[in-house]
Amino acid sequence: MDEATRWVWGFLMKAKEESRPVVVAHLEWLLAQGKHIEVFGTDQGKELVKRKLKAFLRGRGIEFLWTNAYSPEENGLVEKMNGVLEARIRSLLTTANMPWMLWGEAFMFAVDVSNVSPSRGLGSDTPYTRRFCERPSVDQLKIWGCIVHVFTPKVLRKSKLENPGKLGLFVGFAKHSESVRVLNLKTGKIEEKRSVVFDEG
């Protein structure tokens, strides 16, 4: 989380041991974008308080601060956001009657929603506005878990009689394209699709 803009980045990992390489890759990406990072703060999780991470930060002139053990109040903004995201995840899964195995999709969607929602700490601004200096368009936000009709191009249909649209459930946005993430009701797999029609009724 960037304290200046309240912008939140979310990453899904299978194990805590993945934290350091994910954090390093993200910081390198920010630096490559020309962003100036003064301080990197974290709790005393063993996966992050490592020599390699400290050396990486020191080599780039970034101050490394970590909170005292069992003192979440020292990392107030992040801990508060964690609570907000947890509540949103529970609400999304419960309201859409989705299985808990989709908590990761709900988490990433909750992060996206947070970044375009007004933040009390920013007055009437959103993290998106502070980061990009323009108001976010919320037109693309849809009801999480709503039905989507996925269009199948002619060349991919098995026969002329095959239904051109297949049902799925909307579970979020693709990170590297303009596609949306859809739960395929037939296979149970998550797919990224562009040609979809939303049914939010």
CATH match of 16-136 with 3.30.420.10 = yes
166 pLDDT tier (thresholds 50, 70, 90): confident
- CA torsion 138-140-141-147 (nearest 10°) is 160
Fold classified for 142-199: SH3 type barrels. (2.30.30)
Q: Quote the percentage of the chain above a pLDDT of 90.
A: 56
Predicted confidence at residue 90, as pLDDT, reads 97
Average pLDDT over residues 177-193: 94
Question: What is the residue-averaged pLDDT of the chain?
Answer: 87
pLDDT score, position 46:
66
- Chain segment 86-115, per-residue pLDDT in tens: 999 999 999 999 999 999 999 999 999 999
| Segment 45-71 mean pLDDT | 77
Long-range contact set of residues 24-33: C-beta below 8 Å, sequence gap at least 24:
24/53, 24/56, 27/56, 27/57, 27/60, 27/62, 31/60
CA angle in degrees (0–180, nearest 5) for 99-104-110:
100
Lowest mean pLDDT among 25-34, 49-58, 87-96: 49-58
**pLDDT score at 94:** 97
Every domain range in the chain assigned CATH 3.30.420.10: 16-136
> Distance (Å, rounded) from C-alpha 198 to C-alpha 201?
9
- Indicate where the chain has its CATH 2.30.30 domain(s): 142-199
3-state helix, strand, coil in the chain (%, to 5): 40, 15, 45
Model confidence, pTM: 0.85
Higher pLDDT, 84 or 16: 84
Side chain identity at 126, as an amino acid letter? Answer: T
pLDDT at 67: 72
